[in-house]
């Protein structure tokens, strides 16, 4: 067992590296596997089939890293969402900057080097931040970094929930920290604020209705009943965090948001070519949605603005090479209505060959107001 002085030195170094929290957890088997299995069985995992894989490894760190004695858990803040101008798409706050994986992993590796140096003997350390099948949030709870909130996010009394998590799995044995008591009480602001009712009950999220899942992970057409609830979100959703009382005193994040990433003009996103997408988003979390997904989301967001100035761009998109994007542009035109939108949809109905896009065009025509 490492000394208290060694543990204190590791905590101090983690804070110097820019982490706002650090705690030590035992690598014992985590009880979250049962919850995850039930959650998947209920269909709440939607299309995330990868969540069903490696169940034993997720719940038992020693299966991935034999000999692990301690999990050093850290958190970094990324700040609250910025306001968005009309006609611009909303991007989740954590994605409004460079890819956090690079930032966190580099500092975790530096911390691992320090752990080996301060231990005075050879020490193995494996850095992870959403890069291996691990129950990161549950480990963070065990390490005392916060509690699992009713919105399913990790919440800390001092820094709220706008945090990014990382871990060092090491064979250095440290005294574990005590878990933090639940601080949500009877509050249900997050459940009330969820635009789609994805928080089906406290601590349980149905990904099939979650706008974060739908705008990032989902590869198919967005469910028609949920499209109006998207608003102008094009990547992720912060609604359940924005209303959380523990986020009243959020602090600036690790890199700070970049205006060009925090929000972009929706028409610009709709017409973004492959080179432009790679240049703007290739090294950011937004790349996860892929160009097709981002343009699909932008089309729906334009339909939700109620602004017919975007009709020409949407009409041009009815001739796009991507059938899925064409279909969502048709939906937006049907929602905006007007003579120009109807004329374009009527023309598209005569030439559209893709079955799903053709159906979108017909449904949009049925909904489009003539003027």
Domain boundary assignment for the chain: 4-170, 271-371
28, 38, 56, 130: which one is catalytic? 130
Alpha helix (H) residue ranges in the chain: 4-16, 32-41, 55-59, 61-64, 100-119, 136-142, 189-193, 211-216, 239-242, 259-262, 266-270, 274-281, 290-305, 311-317, 323-336, 339-351, 355-367
pLDDT at site 117:
93
Q: Look at strands 263-265 and 88-91 and give their pairing.
A: antiparallel
Query: Is residue 78 classed as helix, strand or coil in its secondary structure?
Result: coil
* CATH number corresponding to 271-371: 1.25.10.10
Q: In this structure, what are the phi and psi dihedrals at residue 163, rounded to the nearest 5 degrees?
A: -130, 155
Round to the nearest angstrom and report the end-to-end CA distance of the chain.
75
Task: Check residue 160 and report its DSSP letter.
Answer: B
Among this protein's residues, is 238 annotated catalytic?
no
Provide the token pair at 332: 């937006």
Q: What is the pTM of this model?
A: 0.92
As a whole number of angstroms, the distance between CA 242 and CA 149 comes to 13
pLDDT at 229: 98
* pLDDT value for 2: 75
Q: What is the pLDDT of residue 276?
A: 94
Instruction: Please give the chain's pLDDT, 371 residues, in tens.
Output: 778 999 999 999 999 999 999 999 999 999 888 888 899 999 999 988 888 777 778 889 988 889 999 999 999 998 788 777 888 999 999 998 888 898 899 999 999 999 999 998 889 999 999 888 899 999 999 999 999 999 999 999 999 999 999 999 999 999 999 999 999 999 999 999 999 999 999 999 999 999 999 999 999 999 999 999 999 999 999 999 999 999 987 766 665 555 556 568 999 999 999 999 999 999 899 999 999 999 999 999 999 999 999 999 999 999 999 999 999 999 999 999 999 999 999 999 999 999 999 999 999 999 987 76
> 70 by DSSP, 3-state: which?
strand
Residue 252's pLDDT is 64
Buried b (16+ CB within 10 A) or exposed e, 233-246: bbbbbbbbbbbbeb
């Amino acid at each position: 067992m490492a000394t208290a002085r060694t543990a204190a030195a590791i905590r101090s170094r983690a804070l110097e590296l820019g982490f706002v929290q650090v705690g030590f957890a035992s690598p014992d088997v985590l009880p979250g596997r049962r919850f995850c299995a039930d959650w998947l069985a209920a269909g709440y995992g939607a299309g995330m089939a990868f969540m069903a894989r490696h169940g034993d490894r997720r719940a038992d760190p020693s299966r991935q890293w034999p000999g692990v004695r301690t999990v050093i858990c850290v958190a970094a803040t990324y700040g609250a969402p910025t306001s968005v101008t009309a006609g611009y798409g909303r991007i989740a706050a954590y994605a409004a900057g460079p890819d956090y994986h690079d930032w966190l992993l580099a500092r975790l590796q530096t911390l691992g080097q320090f752990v080996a140096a301060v231990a005075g003997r050879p020490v193995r350390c494996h850095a992870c931040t959403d890069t291996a099948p691990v129950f990161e949030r549950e480990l963070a709870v065990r390490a005392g970094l916060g509690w699992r909130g009713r919105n399913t996010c990790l919440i800390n009394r001092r820094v709220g929930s706008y945090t990014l998590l990382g871990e060092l799995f090491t064979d250095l044995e440290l005294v574990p920290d005590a878990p933090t008591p639940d601080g949500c009480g009877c509050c249900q602001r997050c459940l009330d604020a969820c635009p789609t009712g994805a928080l089906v009950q406290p601590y349980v999220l149905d990904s099939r209705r979650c706008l974060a899942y739908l705008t990032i992970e989902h590869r198919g057409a967005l469910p028609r009943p949920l499209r109006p609830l998207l608003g102008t979100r094009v990547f992720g959703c912060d609604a359940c965090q924005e209303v959380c009382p523990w986020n009243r005193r959020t602090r600036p994040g690790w890199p700070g948001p970049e205006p060009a990433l925090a929000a972009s003009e929706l028409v610009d996103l709709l017409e973004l070519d492959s080179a432009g997408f790679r240049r703007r988003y290739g090294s950011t979390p937004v790349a996860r949605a892929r160009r097709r997904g981002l343009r699909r989301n932008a089309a729906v967001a334009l339909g939700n603005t109620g602004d017919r100035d975007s009709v020409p761009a949407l009409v041009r998109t009815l001739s796009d090479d991507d059938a899925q994007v064409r279909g969502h542009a048709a939906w937006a035109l049907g929602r905006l209505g007007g003579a120009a939108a109807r004329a374009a949809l009527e023309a598209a109905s005569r030439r559209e060959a893709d079955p799903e896009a053709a159906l979108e065009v017909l449904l949009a025509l049925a909904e489009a107001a003539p003027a």
